[in-house]
Amino acid sequence: MKIKITFWRVVFAVIMVLGLYSTYVRYLHGLGAVSNMTDQFPWGLWIGFDCLCGVMLAAGGFCMVGAVYLFNVESLHGVVKPAVLTAFLGYLLFIVGLLFDLGRPWFIWHQLIYRNPHSVMFEVGFCVMTYTTVLFFEFLPNVFERFNLQGGIKWIKRIYPVLIVLGILLSTLHQSSLGSLYLIMPSKLHPFWYTPALPFFFFGSAVAVGLAMTIFESTQSAKALGRELELSVLVRLGGALLVALWVNALLRVEDFYHRGVLGQIFKPSYEAYFLWLELLLAFVIPITMLSFKKVRLSPGGLYLAAVISLLGFVTNRLNISLIGFEEYVGHHYVPKWTEFMVTLMIIAIGFALFRLAVQYLPIFPEHGHGEPKPGIQHDAPVFGKAAVLSHAND
Amino acid sequence: MSKALLYDATLCIGCKQCEQGCAEENKLPYDDKIAAQAFQSEKKFTCVLTKDDKFMRRLCMHCEKPACASVCPVGALHKTKEGPVAYDVWKCIGCRYCMVACPFNQPKYEWGALNPRVRKCIMCPNRLAAGKATACAEICPTGATKFGEREELLQEAKDRIKQNPSNYVGHIYGEHEVGGTSVLILSKLEPEAFGYPLSAKIGERAMPEYTEVVMEKIPDFIPVWTLVLGGIYWISHRRDEVAEVEAKEKQNGGKQ
């Protein structure tokens, strides 16, 4: 067997080697050796990116399931499966990320027996566990189809309404609760980001990200498989994304105004720069782009607008979890290179698994689960996506 | 009635015997190097700070309604009715939410350990059970740290301010901060000057209430949202269902 060496495969291999070294440091020398986390900064990149952004970027699953199965939007049917796959992988990798971040990951099961119902963290943990199970069942038909197990498909179809309602309920709860995590720190989190409305913003942005992520991931996988994506699907998602961005943006402005920080956000400061970056990427640029019909009708334009807004919402989560605490702590937190490597490794594994699933399971029904057309696989696609997402860390 | 500590900074002579007593009680290493550290760590639960000729102690405040206990997903931290905020290391999964949530930044972490613990002052539970004062209060040569019932200590603190108003800032730090704490501080210089959070910034509202506002709505939210989602599903699939029912009726009709 010969494995062709391509640029992205080399990048993947390098990330894996350095990531495995970081894993070794994490489990044999402890959190202090592998990260720049301290008593002043007990939560770092792994909570900020792997957990907050990971769950947010997996929101496409419940958004598309909601659109297609709850609201019966038939035209989006083709993107549900890849969205559910992305979500399923996203949550699995979130749990992997958690195993790195928890100081005593071997006791993670304590969540099941020592429950503290007052804790937001408990609620998030419980919802994520249950929702990952729901996603597993939503993903299962792909496997049944692959091996032609009609009984299984029928069985899943029967419980599907329950899965759909349960999945959206759990997503609403934990997407918003990730924001509630920060409600107890009014004296620590910078006023640009601390607001009693945090749970609403986390849920609202998850919906926008769900739409943007679906545009991103269906475009990418279509490219990787060498097939054309139906433009009408993308246009529809783009239109919905524009509305979601407007709603999010207006609510944010209203919140700034309501809390009396609207004047402050225009004064240059360390926090203001990061807020501007966030607002520019999440709202100003993509909304401006999508307001042009020409952009809204072109696959490239939609893709670019979606990616920019994704970067904006990633900045938002990092601002809330990292930048927003620096003024209080009094110094900066810069993740150690080993922290970055663990995060990159998890992302790379995610893309590799996605690629494998798309290749061997009937994720795109019209294409079947056969081998991809020869001559299409040649360069970037395999891990090309890893590069796009890895920039999110910068 | 719950136990508490009253620390009167005006009586403190900065001898750091409380640090040493604390280290001995909790089996922590204590030497000149650690004594010289002007900050708390996983090896130093209490710390005497110096500013000119004034002193200030830092330790876990043992809040009446602690943020750490409310955020802990597994209930590893909890407020005992005796007063201390206790820590059950077995339950802990190491999420460090307590550290992020604590308004006084008291929980510290064993970053170098492979099975790390959260460390903080736990108010000498063994000594309390035996009816004794905390190690720091017992060892204090001037009575700057005094152990007793919270209500009584609060009254004593008020009396001290009344008797000698020029000696104190006129505010008992911990009486109302974050809903009250079991460590009360009297001083000439505001505790904020030694790194304590500003009273105005942390407020008098108990920290857990900030999340309770949201958490208490969840039990109502779940059935309502499930009904809404189920309703949407039902309405948008009405046509399919009708067709299915009709087909079934036809089948049943055929059988009868």
- The CATH number for A257's domain is 1.20.1630.10
**Substitution target from A26, A98, A116 for chain B, most B beta carbons within 10 A:** A116
Predicted local distance difference test score (pLDDT) of residue B70 = 95
Mutate to test the interface with B, among A46, A68, A100, A119 (most CBs of B within 10 A): A119
The closest CB to that of A120, out of B41, B197, B215, belongs to B215
Question: Could A119 and B71 be called an inter-chain contact, meaning their C-beta atoms sit closer than 8 Å?
Answer: yes
Q: Which of B94, B214, B232 sits opposite A199 (nearest CB)?
A: B214
> Can you say whether the dihedral through the CA atoms of A70, A71, A74, A79 is positive or negative?
negative
> Which pLDDT score, from 0 to 100, does residue A367 have?
45
Chain A partners of B91 at a C-beta cutoff of 8 Å? 107, 110, 114
Q: Which amino acid is at A285?
A: I
Q: Is residue A48 part of a domain?
A: yes
Predicted local distance difference test score (pLDDT) of residue A387: 40
pLDDT of chain B, 256 residues: tens digit per residue: 699 999 999 999 999 999 999 999 999 999 999 999 999 999 999 999 999 889 999 999 999 999 999 999 999 999 999 999 999 999 999 999 999 999 999 999 999 999 999 999 999 999 999 999 999 999 999 999 999 999 999 999 999 999 999 999 989 999 999 999 999 999 999 999 999 999 999 999 999 999 998 999 999 999 999 999 999 988 888 877 787 788 888 877 655 4
Chain A CA closest to residue B206: A184
| Beta carbons of B105 and A173 less than 8 Å apart | no
Dihedral sign of CA atoms A151, A157, A162, A163 in order: positive
Per DSSP, the three-state class of B16 is: coil
Does the residue A323 lie in any domain? yes
User: Are the Cβ atoms of A164 and B233 closer than 8 angstroms?
Assistant: yes
Helices (H), A147-186: 150-180
* Other residues' Cβ atoms within 10 Å of the Cβ of residue B223: 10
Instruction: Tell me the residue type at A40.
Output: Q
What is the model's pTM?
0.89
At position A1, the amino acid (one-letter code) is M
Domain ranges for chain B = 3-206, 217-255
Q: In whole angstroms, how far apart are CA A374 and each of A200, A217, A357?
A: 47, 22, 18
CA nearest to B67 within chain A? A184
Q: How far is A21 from chain B (nearest CA, A)?
A: 17
- What's the CA gap between A159 and A141, in Å, rounded? 12
Least Cα separation, residue A110 to chain B (angstroms)? 7
- Residues of chain A neighbouring B197 (CB-CB closer than 8 A): 187
CA distance A253 to A279: 10
**Whole-angstrom Cα distance, residue A310 to residue A316?**
10
Asked if residue A1 belongs to a domain, the reply is no
Which two structure tokens, joined as six digits, stand for B233? 């599903």
Helix axes A299-318, A198-225, angle to 10 degrees: 140
Helix boundaries (H) for B106-237: 125-129, 135-139, 150-163, 199-202, 208-215, 218-236
- Distance between CA atoms of residues A9 and A340, nearest Å: 19
In a domain, A2, yes or no: no
Question: Backbone phi, then psi, for B249, in 5-degree steps?
Answer: -60, -40
Tens digit of pLDDT at every position of chain A (394 positions) = 567 888 888 999 999 999 999 999 999 999 999 999 999 999 999 999 999 999 999 999 999 999 998 888 888 888 898 899 999 999 999 999 999 999 999 999 999 999 999 999 999 999 999 999 999 999 998 899 888 888 888 888 888 889 999 999 999 999 999 999 999 999 999 999 999 999 999 999 999 999 999 999 888 878 877 777 778 889 999 999 999 999 999 999 999 999 999 989 999 999 999 999 999 999 999 999 999 999 999 999 999 999 999 999 999 999 999 999 999 998 899 999 999 999 999 999 998 998 888 888 888 765 444 444 433 333 333 333 444 444 433 3
Of A114, A118, A184, the CB nearest to B91: A114
Does A107 contact B96 at a Cβ distance shorter than 8 Å? Answer: no
Where residue B123 falls (left for φ over 0; alpha for ψ -120 to 50; beta otherwise) is left
- CB–CB contacts below 8 A, A to B: 155
How many distinct structural domains can be found in chain A? 1
| B49 membership: H or E segment, kind and range | strand B47-51
- Let me know: does B183 contact B61? Beta carbons within 8 Å: yes
Residue of B nearest to A162 (CA): B230
| pLDDT for res B241 | 73
Cβ atoms < 10 Å from Cβ of B80? 16
- For A272, how many CA atoms within 13 A lie in the half-sphere containing its CB? 9
Tell me the H-state helices in A181-225: 198-225
Whole-number pLDDT of residue A388: 40
Q: What angle do CA A306, A312, A317 make, to 5 degrees?
A: 125
The partner residues of B4 in beta bridges, in order of sequence, read B148
Q: What is the pLDDT of residue B249?
A: 82
Give this complex's ipTM. Answer: 0.88
Q: Decide if A39 and B100 are in contact by the 8 Å CB cutoff.
A: no
What is the least distance, in Å, from the CA of A392 to any CA of chain B? 24
Residue A17 forms part of a structural domain:
yes
Give the best residue of A65, A95, A118 to mutate against chain B (max B CB count within 10 A).
A118
- Pairwise CA distance, residues A286 & A307, whole Å: 9
Strand partners, B51: B54
- What's the gap in Å between the CA of A294 and the closest CA on chain B? 32
Q: Judging by DSSP bridges, how do beta strands B183-186 and B3-8 pair with one another?
A: parallel
- Mutate which: A52, A65, A134, A165, vs B, most B CBs within 10 A: A165
Q: Which domain holds residue A226?
A: 7-393
Could you tell me which CATH number the domain at B3-206 has?
A: 3.30.70.20
User: How much is the pLDDT for B255?
Assistant: 52
Residue A104: which of B92, B218, B221 has the nearest Cβ?
B92
CA dihedral B44, B48, B49, B54 (to 10 degrees): 180
The three-class DSSP label of residue A217 is helix
